[in-house]
Structure 1
Amino acid sequence: MRLIESRATLVLTYALLALLLVVTLFPIALLVINSVKPAAQIVQNPLAWPEAFRWDNFTRAWTDARFGQTMLNSAVLSGLTIVLVCTTGSLTAYVLARRKIKSWKIITFYLLATTTAPIQLFLFPLYFGFAKLGLINNAVAVSVVYTAVWSPFAVMLLRTYFLAVPKELEEAALIDGASHWQVFTKVMLPIVSPGILTVALIIGLYSWNEFLIATTFLQRADTTTAIVSFFLLSGQYSSDWGEIMAAALIVVLPVIILFILLQRRFIEGMAGGSVKG
């Protein structure tokens, strides 16, 4: 009887996983199919198989959206943000994990509040301040804004990793003559590297897909990001949906490839960060 119940549970589990897989992959499959179809066929039936493959959708999308330049801009902006968030977040998280802070509840409330606060609250003051300082169309300045927005999340996550590291490792390194900076860089960072990689992947994804801040502070054509240039492909009165689908596939493809290559470390990192809070 137990064997039958276990088999039924296993079958039900696999059926639910298969259903979730279909739900997850269906939009991507639909995007791939429509990216090689003529615009007229997409409008007529977006679920149909292509009658004729329009590979020129990709070349036109690459040229019209200037992806050669805009994807480089997105990569630079994402890279700067990842470096800043991982650096400041790991330093802050280490201090919060290893020092007894009486006002920790207040700091926790502040981090949670800043994580959930919408960026629209600060957008106008930031824009006027950046315009006054001449920082509009400056990728480094925008990466600082991204860092301020996403650092609280990084600090909260990385702190759980540092808490999970035994203090005896630090004490042993200090007894051996290592400085506190050497303990942090040579002992702690290698141990919490899965958490740092997890933060880097999430922050990179956020930065790559972010639209509101990018379109507000990066207005010049040579500073536009890929997601903004993709948005500009859609016309006010008419749109070439084949080209737009191809452009969407070009934008999401780097993220999908990166996640597939690092998914194992990402899952391990997320699981490790939930062990201790």
Structure 2
Amino acid sequence: MRLVESRATLTITYVVLGIGLFTALFPIVLLVLNSLKSAQEIVQNPLALPQVIRFDNFARAWKDARFSTTFWNSAMLTALTIILVCSTGSAAAFVLARKKIKAWKVVTFYLLATTTAPIQLFLFPLYFGFAKLGLINNVFAVSLVYTAIYSPFAIMLLRTYFLAVPKEIEEAAIIDGASSWQVFTRVMLPIVSPGILTVALIIGLYSWNEFLIATTFLQRQDKLTAVVSFFLLSGQYSSDWGEIMAAALIIVLPIVVLFVFLQRRFIEGMAGGSVKG
């Protein structure tokens, strides 16, 4: 009886996993297929296989979206945001994890509020402030906005990693003569590196795909990000859907490749961050 139940449970598990896998992969497969078709074929039947493989879609998408420039802008913006969030977030998380703060509930409420608050509330004041300071079309300035938005999440996640590290390790380093800065940089950071990698991947994904702030503060043609330039490929009255699909695949591919290579560390990092809150 137990054997029958275990087999039934295993079958149901595989069915559910199969449905989940199909749901996750179907849009990607459809994107790849349509990126190799002409616009006419996509309109006629987006689910069919391409009659003639159109690799020229990728060449036209790269040229028309100016990906040689916009990819660099996105990469620089993403890298700056990751560096700023991971450096400031890890330092703040270490202090919050190791110091007894009486107003911790207030700090927690503040971090949760800033995480859930919509950016639209601050968009117009930020824009006018940036315009007054001459920071429009400044990639570093936009990375500061991203840092302010994503840091609360990073701090709350990294704090759980620092809490999971036994205090005896820190005390032993202090006894050996290490300063607080050395304890943080040489002892704690290597231990919580899986969490920092997890934060870097998540923040990198958010920054790479972000549209609203990028299109508001980066308006010059040579400062556009890849996502914004992709959006501009769509015309008002007509669109080359083959080219658009190819451009979408070009944008998605770096993130997918990066996640595939780092998925084990990412999963380990997410699991480790849920050990202690």
TM-score w.r.t. structure 2 length? Answer: 0.99
What is the rounded CA distance, in whole Å, between the counterparts of 2:80 and 2:258 in structure 1? 17
> Once the 2 structures are TM-superposed, how far is the Cα of residue 213 of structure 1 from its aligned partner?
0.3
Q: Which amino acid aligns with 2:152?
A: P
Who is 1:56 aligned against?
56
Who is 2:182 aligned against?
182
> Once the 2 structures are TM-superposed, how far is the Cα of residue 177 of structure 1 from its aligned partner?
0.4
What is the rounded CA distance, in whole Å, between the counterparts of 1:73 and 1:198 in structure 2? 23
Query: Are 2:107 and 1:101 aligned?
Result: no
Who is 2:40 aligned against?
40
Who is 1:252 aligned against?
252
Q: Which structure 2 segments of 5+ residues have no match?
A: none
What is the rounded CA distance, in whole Å, between the counterparts of 1:129 and 1:14 in structure 2? 54
Q: Which amino acid aligns with 2:220?
A: R
Query: Are 2:199 and 1:199 aligned?
Result: yes
What is the rounded CA distance, in whole Å, between the counterparts of 2:102 and 2:135 in structure 1? 38
What is the rounded CA distance, in whole Å, between the counterparts of 2:69 and 2:21 in structure 1? 34
Who is 2:158 aligned against?
158
Who is 1:227 aligned against?
227
Who is 1:24 aligned against?
24
> Once the 2 structures are TM-superposed, how far is the Cα of residue 125 of structure 1 from its aligned partner?
0.4
What is the rounded CA distance, in whole Å, between the counterparts of 2:19 and 2:128 in structure 1? 49
Displaced runs of 4+ in structure 1, greater than 3 A? none
Who is 1:11 aligned against?
11
> Once the 2 structures are TM-superposed, how far is the Cα of residue 14 of structure 1 from its aligned partner?
1.0
Q: Deviations over 1:22-74 (max 9, x none)?
A: 01000000000000001001011100111111110000000000001101110
What is the rounded CA distance, in whole Å, between the counterparts of 1:207 and 1:23 in structure 2? 25
1:112-151 alignment runs, 5 A limit: 112-151=112-151
Equivalent residues, number = 277
**Partner SS state of residue 51, structure 2:** coil
What is the rounded CA distance, in whole Å, between the counterparts of 1:22 and 1:124 in structure 2? 41
What is the rounded CA distance, in whole Å, between the counterparts of 1:124 and 1:76 in structure 2? 24
Superposed CA RMSD in Å reads: 0.5
> Once the 2 structures are TM-superposed, how far is the Cα of residue 246 of structure 1 from its aligned partner?
0.3
Who is 1:243 aligned against?
243
What is the rounded CA distance, in whole Å, between the counterparts of 1:229 and 1:35 in structure 2? 17
Who is 1:268 aligned against?
268
Q: Deviations over 1:243-274 (max 9, x none)?
A: 00000000000000000000000000000001
What is the rounded CA distance, in whole Å, between the counterparts of 1:116 and 1:80 in structure 2? 23
Q: Which structure 1 segments of 5+ residues have no match?
A: none
> Once the 2 structures are TM-superposed, how far is the Cα of residue 230 of structure 1 from its aligned partner?
0.1
